[in-house]
A and B are shown apart, each in its own frame.
Chain A
Amino acid sequence: MSAKTLRIAGVTRTFPGQRASAPTLALQPTDLSVAPGEFVAILGPSGCGKSTLLRIVAGLDQPTGGQVLLDGAPVTAPGPDRGMVFQSYTLFPWLTVEGNIRYGLRERGLPEAQQAEVAARFIARTGLRGFENHWPRQLSGGMQQRTALARALANDPEILLLDEPFGALDHQTRELMQELLLEIWEADRKTVLFVTHDIDEAIFLANRVLVMSARPGRVKAEVPVPLAYPRDWTMKTTPEFGALKARLMGEIREEVRKAIAAAG
Chain B
Amino acid sequence: MEPLKPVSPGARIALGAGFFAVFIAAWGLATYGGWVPPLFLASPGRTLLAGWSLLTEFGFLGDIAVTIWRVVGGFLIAAVLAVPLGLLMGAFKPIEAFFEPFLSFARYLPASAFIPLLILWAGVGEAQKLSVIVIGSVFQLVIMVAGVAGATRPDLVEAARTLGSGRLAILRRVVIPAAAPQIAETLRLVLGWAWTYVIVAELIGATSGIGHMIMDSQRLLDTGQMIFGIAVIGIIGLVTDLLFKAANRRLFPWAVL
Contacts and interface: CB of A to CB of B under 8 A. Distances in A.
Contacts of B169: 107
Interface string B138-160: 00000000000000010110111
Contacts, number: 69
A80 B166 CA distance: 11
Contact of B162 (A83, A108, A135): A83
A155 to B, nearest CB: 6
Contact of B254 (A79, A94, A104): A94
A104 B164 contact: yes
B255 to A, nearest CB: 7
- B interface majority secondary structure: helix
Interface in A129-161: 135-137, 148, 151-152, 155, 161
B254 A93 contact: yes
B163 A103 contact: yes
B23 interface: no
Contact of B163 (A93, A94, A155): A155
Given A92-B177, A94-B177, A94-B180, A80 B163 contact: yes
A60 B162 contact: yes
Interface string B47-83: 0000000000000000000000000000000000000
B93 interface: no
Interface residues of A, number: 29
B162 A84 contact: yes
A82 B155 contact: no
B253 interface: yes
A142 B161 CA distance: 23
A173 interface: no
B217 to A, nearest CB: 48
Interface string B157-192: 011111111000100011001101000000000000
Contact of B159 (A77, A90, A135): A90
Interface string A80-99: 10111010101011110000
B220 interface: no
B161 A60 contact: yes
A192 to B, nearest CB: 15
A78 B254 contact: no
Chain A interface mostly? loop
B146 to A, nearest CB: 20
A90 B164 contact: no
A82 B253 contact: no
B158 A137 contact: no
A171 to B, nearest CB: 24
A114 to B, nearest CB: 16
A78 B178 contact: no
A110 to B, nearest CB: 11
B252 interface: yes
B256 interface: yes
B254 A80 contact: no
The winner among A58, A93, A95 for most chain B CB atoms within 10 A is A93
Contacts of A86: 155, 158-159
A80 B165 CA distance: 8
Of B156, B163, B178, the most chain A CB neighbours within 10 A belong to: B163
B249 to A, nearest CB: 13
A90 B174 CA distance: 12
Residue from the set A58, A60, A92, A95 with the largest chain B CB neighbour count within 10 Å: A92
Contact of B155 (A79, A90, A108): A90
Interface in B107-161: 153, 155-156, 158-161
B256 A137 contact: yes
Contacts of B161: 59-60, 77-78
Nearest to B254: A135
B255 A93 contact: yes
A94 B162 contact: no
A94 B254 CA distance: 6
B109 to A, nearest CB: 36
Given A103-B163, A107-B164, A94 B178 contact: yes
B177 A58 contact: no
B174 A92 contact: yes
A215 to B, nearest CB: 22
Give the 10 A-B CB pairs with smallest separation, nearest first: A80-B164, A104-B163, A78-B161, A90-B159, A84-B162, A94-B177, A135-B254, A107-B164, A78-B162, A90-B155
11 contacts: A59-B161, A59-B162, A79-B162, A86-B159, A93-B178, A94-B252, A103-B163, A107-B164, A107-B169, A108-B164, A148-B159
Given A80-B163, A86-B155, 13 more contacts: A60-B162, A79-B162, A80-B162, A83-B163, A84-B159, A90-B153, A92-B160, A93-B255, A94-B180, A107-B173, A108-B164, A137-B254, A137-B256
